[in-house]
Amino acid sequence: MIRQIWPPEDGRELDLAELEDLYRFPDVAKWLVVNFVSSTDGAITVGGRSRPLSTAPDRVVFKLGSDLADVVLLGAGTAVIEEFDGVHPGKETADRRRRHGLEPIPPIAVVTTGASLPPSAPVLTEAAVPTLVITSERAPRDLREAWKSAGAEVIVAGEDEVALDLAVAALTERGLRRIDCEGGPRLFASLAEAGLVDEFRLTVAPFLVAGTADRAAVGGAFDPVELALATVLTDGASLLTRYLAP
């Protein structure tokens, strides 16, 4: 059972319907959520992958992120390393999306400058709906054509690097205003640096990892941003937090 412990006046056990209500996106022009799971000592991967850190309650709220979004945003490195093949809804997801007036399947939007996304990547070839590849003018034209041949729609946003403000604008112009970002750390840092993150959802899993694993945000150059703690949930082991950006 998952229990809300913050704010303290709202402390109670939550069923799945209440979790769904808590994690749904607000009805605004654009809302960008970033999701991460980390060990208690701050590692976001084990052996280069995040899945070994994910706990049962983390999987519940992580699924709510994509289930309630218009689009899932990923860095190409994360998409390839995690062998992400898009969203393939089961009955629960299909029912949930129908109740919220969402399209049956959210597309994946992958951010890449080029080499990090091979045309054979499962996120392109196995996705249930066409993947959006967001890239820059620097990406070779033959590679862009190969992405298209693999079934993707290519969006050019920026010249040498991907301009994330233009990328997010391109998504919202397509009606994809509820954006669920599932990593990686460099994309998160770049989104934060551009002031595009509205909510940060972090699960602290009860593991000690040590080593040299990345933190949730890597790179970027900006002064510390103070976040507002919105909610904290727990099953007695994991902590499921939600922070709002100013």
**pLDDT tens by residue, 192-241:** 999 999 999 999 999 999 888 888 999 877 889 999 999 999 999 999 99
**What residues contact 231, with CB distance under 8 A and at least 6 apart?**
4, 6, 7, 10, 22, 240, 241, 242
CA distance linking residue 8 with residue 6, whole number of Å = 5
pTM over 0.85: yes
Q: What is the pLDDT of residues 163-192, one digit of tens each?
A: 999 999 999 999 999 999 998 999 999 999
Among positive and negative, which fits the CA dihedral 114, 115, 116, 118? positive
Query: What does the pLDDT look like over 2-13, one tens digit per residue?
Result: 999 999 999 999
d(CA 43, CA 115): 26
- Rounded CA gap, 246 and 230, in Å? 12
Q: Which of 26, 27, 175, 155 is nearest to 106 (CA)?
A: 175
| Secondary structure of residue 56 in the 3-state scheme | helix
DSSP code per residue over 1-43:
-EEEEESGGG-EEE-HHHHHHHHSPPSSS-EEEEEEEEETTS-
Q: In angstroms, how far apart are the furthest CA atoms of the chain?
A: 57
Q: Please name the helix (run of DSSP H) or strand (run of DSSP E) that holds residue 189, with its range, or none.
A: helix 185-193
